[in-house]
Structure 1
């Protein structure tokens, strides 16, 4: 198990002034697979899902077991296998690690990182977190003897939940799923963004994955960058803006 000094979380983001427009989607890529972050589940995507299906996209949300990165990649692969045609793959927070590897599937035509890790080959989420100072320290976690962890309620509300109401942030904190701490030490072995177009929505007020780190990862990957002024849980705090970025990416890929 890794030293819990390096760890991650899940969450969300915020964008600029882009608002989702009603109507039928005109993108060549109609299939969108959404991947949630660590310690949460697919329900964090509900508001984004509603906006995308209103534009006639076919949207699948993958539930990650979070028992290992390999298990999580396999879960996304199952979702990819049932799609009819090309896919846009979207990951939030820790989900960025997962889509970076799962995105090598030939049906994936582009990737969207939502306040997410965007690792290079040989990097882990823990490596990336350790590269920039953060208030998200080991004392904010509850870790079990078998190596799984949760974020303590007060830390989740203040660090992940900025932008949510206190009641909503506390509910998400108390409905967390246990995540394997070893996921943070997983060294990425394949990088889909190396030869596929990618987008990064930077959460300008993120207290978990620093905006500086998000920008740095996106720059080296050549990603299109969109900044949203909100905290880590962008799919919940800024669903209009996140859905618009995803829709525009689906319209741009070939």
Structure 2
């Protein structure tokens, strides 16, 4: 069977954000599907990723793509995929506390653009739109902001055992105009990946550089198909 590209979104978003890339993959004849994380806890998010990968992998190779926070549940639950792609995403090392790394991860501009509600949910402030989508089409950025979700998941304190990326081919995509995640922090992750590529875009390349991102992912699908035939 042809490979499936399985997409995992980041904090406060949903699978809809991958629509521009999914549309372009359709034109290339590449199958894609987006996971909606529950955002109720890190454990729930990891379980959602694990189940989605397990279901897809029964019948075809899976290229698992993570954006931003999505790198954590992908690292914890993506072991049954065939290839991994991290897009400005967290990619914790074995033995490393993801929460301990947070001060060196997020850009101060983004940390000022969210708050925690009375019930413990993280809510994005209006200024987060410019931080997340600074080079994205304004109409798309406005629609995305209307779809932001409260988030109760937390970055885990405990290290992730058996990080999926340590045993699978892994590509890291660095977003060089990112105002949400520090670019140097992304490059530190990229140094541990099998390979890396840099895109001159904001934190949301599915909006600001969908063509370039699609080309990278289509190539990953082609590699997964070749490995499956070998």
Same fold (TM over 0.5): yes
Which residue does the alignment assign to 1:161? 133
Which residue does the alignment assign to 2:75? 100
Q: Which structure dedicates a bigger proportion of its chain to helix? A: 2
**Matched-pair contact (CA < 8 Å) for 1:40–1:175:** yes
Are 2:83 and 1:110 equivalent residues in the alignment? yes
RMSD of aligned Cα (Å):
2.0
Shift of 1:73: 1.5
Which residue does the alignment assign to 1:227? 198
Shift of 1:175: 2.1
Which consecutive unaligned segments of at least 5 residues does structure 2 have? none
**Matched-pair contact (CA < 8 Å) for 2:172–2:193:** no
Please give the alpha-carbon distance, in whole angstroms, between the structure 2 residues aligned to 1:184 and 1:173.
26
Over 3 Å counting, the alpha-carbon distance change for 1:56 and 1:215 in structure 2 is: same
Q: Which string of whole-angstrom CA distances, capped at 9 and with x for unpartnered residues, describes residues 142-186 of structure 1?
A: 2122321112111x1221121123443233223211112523546
Please give the alpha-carbon distance, in whole angstroms, between the structure 1 residues aligned to 2:55 and 2:195.
28
Which residue does the alignment assign to 2:43? 70
Shift of 1:245: 0.8
Over 3 Å counting, the alpha-carbon distance change for 1:200 and 1:137 in structure 2 is: closer
Which residue does the alignment assign to 1:15? none
Over 3 Å counting, the alpha-carbon distance change for 1:184 and 1:136 in structure 2 is: farther
Which residue does the alignment assign to 2:120? 147
**Matched-pair contact (CA < 8 Å) for 1:39–1:177:** yes
Q: Given the alignment, which residue of 155, 163, 175 partners 2:147?
A: 175
Which residue does the alignment assign to 1:90? 65
| SS of the residue 2:43 aligns to | helix
Shift of 1:85: 1.9
Shift of 1:72: 0.9
Please give the alpha-carbon distance, in whole angstroms, between the structure 1 residues aligned to 2:109 and 2:157.
17
Shift of 1:79: 1.7
Which residue does the alignment assign to 1:247? 218
Shift of 1:57: 2.1
Over 3 Å counting, the alpha-carbon distance change for 1:167 and 1:185 in structure 2 is: farther
Q: Which string of whole-angstrom CA distances, capped at 9 and with x for unpartnered residues, describes residues 28-71 of structure 1?
A: 85111111111011111001111112222221210000111111
Please give the alpha-carbon distance, in whole angstroms, between the structure 2 residues aligned to 1:77 and 1:47.
25
Please give the alpha-carbon distance, in whole angstroms, between the structure 2 residues aligned to 1:103 and 1:93.
15
Are 2:53 and 1:80 equivalent residues in the alignment? yes
Over 3 Å counting, the alpha-carbon distance change for 1:41 and 1:125 in structure 2 is: farther
Over 3 Å counting, the alpha-carbon distance change for 1:147 and 1:216 in structure 2 is: same
Which residue does the alignment assign to 1:123? 96
